[in-house]
Structure 1
Amino acid sequence: MSETRSAGQGGGRLTVLQGTALYVGAVLGTGVIALPALAAQVAGPASLVAWLGLVVVSAPLAAVFAALGARHPDAGGVSTYARLAFGERAAAVVGWCFYLAVPPGASAAALFAGAYVSGAVGGGGVTTAVTAVVLMAVVVVSNVVGLRVAGWLQLALAGLLVVVLVVAVTLALPHASTANLRPFAPHGWLAIGPAAALLVWSFAGWEAITHLAGEFRSPSRDLPRATGAAVVIVGVLYLLVAFSVIAVLGASAAHDEAPLGALMARGLGGGARTAAAVAAVLLTLGTMNAYVAGASKLGAALGRDGALPAWMSRGSLVGEVPRRSLAVVSCLAFATLVAVVASGGGTQPLVLLTTGSFVTVYAVGTAAALRLLPRGPARTAAWAALAAVLVLLVMSGRYLLWPLAVSCAALLYLRFRKRKPPAAVPVNASTSERSELLP
């Protein structure tokens, strides 16, 4: 079992502001530029109920992962919590589910932004695909040069993102009409469930930054502060944007691939679609930056702990750049992107496959919290979060087949691997100790 840094011990470079920005980028992300329209297609104005429900659920979920990250700041994140609570197999399952959810998720995010750019400058599918590739390359380069640069990039992106969204909503709300909220549930009240399953994409991310917990200067102090600030920012912005899209755009919101662009155009005029494309690119960069950084650290930790090949273990320690794991994530993401563009399959299946994996990670993570956290508010939050996640599991339906297949692959890897797990490396090991322990 790998050792984790004792609670509160620092050593990283991330500040509260940078951590808040990483959270805002990971959670707010591309959900705000695409999901209001997709949810409206499924449930109409009643999708606002799903938005509100998930905002409420996100508070205890975020609190649980912040508490776990503060007590066990390790690059393995939820995988580490699963190992401490349930053992090696659970850790491998969670690690693989998260790690292999990032490539399709990153591809979908890049294509969302590409649709905004093509809507602003033309070029159709070619512009969309080229934009997606460029965004992927920028994120990879950002993470190659190191987490410190990525953290400052994230802070700048998050600040610009919040300003753009506030301006868009402020200018568009005067055009809102209550008539656009009727009929409120055109597809029936039961449609709120499938809409909520789709919107899990918008609230995935509270677990992503746990892989970077050890990179904070003081995890026990800074991680809860960053989480609390991000919960408020994300919740308010999501509800404002979702309400504005439906109340201002009405039925047309369900058929617009760039609803934020249409919203800004209503307030600023037709030329606002260019500004919306810029906002979409910023949002997407923030999301992809946070997830690729977290997944790269996770892959290195899984290599360190024997759940992935040992050559991926380089970079699992605080301050190191996990370039080998980053290379694997990047290759898988580019391959997924090429496959989707070539097949014309669209982004919705990618979204649902990704959210099915994240819900699985949440289920194991909140269950682990019940065993690892002491009695008190955090344990109470874990019970509430677990109950909500179980409901989301039921709503995910057939898209749980993907994390099920990934889980089986992880267990098969553990069973048939031809080596023992490498020696666990303490996160505060010296340089000489690292060279002796890591391959």
Structure 2
Amino acid sequence: MNQLRKEITLLSGIGQLSTTLLGTGLFMIPAIAAGIAGELSLWAWLLLFVAICPIALTFAQLGKRYPNAGGTAYFVRQAFNPRLERSVAWLFVSVIPVGVPAAIALAAGFLQQLLPDGLNNFLLAQLITVVLLIGVNLMGAKSSGQLQTVIAISIFALVGAFLWRGEVGTADLTMPVLTSDSIWPIGAALGVMFWCFVGIEAFAHMGEEFKNPQRDFPIAIIVGCFVAGATYWATSVVILKFHAYGSVEFDSASIPFLSEQLFGPSFKLLVSVVGFSACFASVNLYTQSLSRMVWAQAREYKPAGKMAKVSARGVPINATLGVGAVLAISCVFGELSGLNLEFFLKLANSIFVLVYLMAMLAAFKLLQGASKWLAALSLVLCTFVFICLGWSMLYALTIFGLLMLQGKKHNRKAVNL
């Protein structure tokens, strides 16, 4: 039978979500946000965390009531119709060419420091990362969750070491004064910072594999978001104190810079290991969720097709290999294009925020009582963040519009037949 195994426990669920939310974001977003808003980025982090809480709680309610590998697309189907479901499903998959290669590139940057001279090539490091991702995914959700829990502990230890060695005190924790001029830089920073909390919608695809989704899935989301939010804020405090921001080099190298400043060059190897592990963990869950999205669509519409096949370990094997192939091609394109990291992040964020918007819209229709009004608040907050994205939101709207048109043509053909 083509069914996924229920192997995810509460602890491994928290480990998977927290490492996914921290992963690549921790090694680039605090420095990028500080470059945009300076010390005001501390306020931006607090505002983002306040905004993400109702969104996370709404996802928790949806995942508790509708645990399915289809994630947001499945929620949309329950609330609206299959045509909109397919559009949202492929909208999520469309993040592969713009979002995932940026994350893999960051992971490869750390891996490159660990490779011998003969293999010290950036594109090769990216392709090795893709192969490792596919290998871990094919092992199954249980093994993947255990690995990510270990990685989560190492990330917390690294940030804790920075706080201790950096002698962060009360003065460093003082929030800057807000003025009328603070609104624009905080809003601009939020547009980039939302990347740090994309992962909740990907985690929704794992609900079907929880041993006890009704109890553990909501707790994993809430605890994972809280842990990630506190870690981001603490990291930003250290980056601001040591001025590890303000240049393109710092966008992806603020953490290595801090490690060298606080611990010396000998600490560089350890940071490279932790950095690669953290970025790998983040991309790992996205690889899982993307393959499960493809598998869920195949199970729904082509149950006898190759993409609906599940391995003996309960893994959608062909969907996973297909996603891996697309990732490899996207990495090659990303390397040849020469476009910078922030450009790809903004495009990817626009897709993620639109997916969140659709999830909150579905929640408003599906949920009842207080949960319904919580979904309404989340919908308003997602709309605000979407506006903060500026020009990049047009990318997501264009992709979504094309998918809807394609879905309309598909429906017409089905009727004619």
TM-score by length of 2: 0.88
Amino acid in structure 2 at the alignment position of 1:395: C
Q: Once the 2 structures are TM-superposed, how far is the Cα of residue 49 of structure 1 from its aligned partner?
A: 1.9
Q: Which residue of 2 aligns with 1:314?
A: 309
- Cα gap change, 1:402/1:311 in structure 2, threshold over 3 Å: closer, same or farther? farther
Query: Aligned partners of 2:232 and 2:264: how far apart in 1?
Result: 23
Deviations 1:235-282 (A, max 9, x none): 111110011111222555775131111222222123323222112101
Q: Report the AA paired with residue 128 of structure 2.
A: V
Q: How many residues align?
A: 409
Shift of 1:404: 2.4
| Cα separation, partners in 2 of 1:129 and 1:96, compared to 1, 3 Å | same
Which amino acid letter does the alignment assign opposite residue 352 of structure 1?
A: K
Match of 2:202 in 1: 208
Residue of structure 2 equivalent to 1:363: 357
Shift of 1:82: 0.5
Partner of 1:95: 89
Task: Please say if residues 46 and 189 of structure 1, whose CA atoms lie closer than 8 Å, have aligned partners that are also in contact.
Answer: no
Structure 1 range deviating more: 61-70 or 306-315: 306-315
**Aligned twin of 1:62:** 56
Task: Tell me by how many angstroms 1:48 deviates.
Answer: 2.0
Shift of the alpha carbon at 1:297? 0.6
Quick one: distance in 1 between partners of 2:299 and 2:386? 30
2:220 to 219, 222, 226: 226
Which stretches in structure 2 are left out of the alignment for 5+ residues? none
The answer for the alignment partner of 1:298 in structure 2 is 293
Shift of 1:83: 0.7
Report the Cα offset of residue 179 of structure 1. 12
Q: Is the 8 A contact 1:73 1:219 kept in 2?
A: yes
Structure 1 280/127 Cα, relative in aligned 2: closer, same or farther at 3 Å?
farther
Matched, 1:415 2:408: yes
1:390 and 2:351 correspond: no
Give the residue type in structure 2 aligned to 1:293.
Q
1:336 aligns with 2:300: no
Distance 1:11 1:117, change over 3 A: closer
| AA partner of residue 292 (structure 2) | K
Cα pair 2:6 2:211 within 8 Å, conserved: yes
Distance, in Å, in 2 between the alignment partners of 1:265 and 1:175 is 20
User: Following the alignment from structure 1 to structure 2, what is the Cα–Cα distance between the partners of residues 416 and 189?
Assistant: 44
Quick one: structure 1 residues 59 and 284, their matched pair in 2 at CA, closer, same or farther if it must change by over 3 Å? Answer: same
C-alpha offsets along residues 198-220 of structure 1, whole Å, 9 cap, x if unaligned?
A: 11111111111111101001100
Is the Cα contact below 8 Å between 2:17 and 2:203 reproduced in 1?
Answer: yes
Point out the more displaced range, 269-278 or 354-363. Answer: 269-278
Question: Percent identity between the aligned chains?
Answer: 24
CA distance in 1 between partners of 2:246 and 2:266 (Å): 19
Q: Deviations over 1:333-369 (max 9, x none)?
A: 1111111111211222211111110000000101111
Please name the residue that 1:262 is paired with: 257
- Can you list the C-alpha shifts for 1:104-130, whole angstroms capped at 9, x where unaligned? 32211121233345578898x964333
Q: Which amino acid aligns with 2:228?
A: V
How far residue 381 of structure 1 moved from its aligned partner, in angstroms, is 2.6
Taking a change above 3 Å as real, the CA distance of residues 24 and 179 of structure 1, as seen in their structure-2 partners, is: closer
1:15-68 per-position Cα deviation (integer Å, ceiling 9, x unaligned): 001111111122111111011121122222222222221111121111111110
Cα distance in 2 for residues equivalent to 1:226 and 1:399: 31
Q: Are 2:379 and 1:379 equivalent residues in the alignment?
A: no
Instruction: Give the match for residue 403 of structure 1.
Output: 396
| CA deviation after TM superposition for structure 1 residue 233, in Å | 1.0
Contact 2:23 2:278 in 1 (8 A): yes
SS at match of 1:28: helix
TM norm structure 1 = 0.84
Distance 2:395 2:305 in 1: 25
Structure 1 spans left out of the alignment, 5+ residues: 422-439
- The one-letter amino acid paired with 1:394 is I
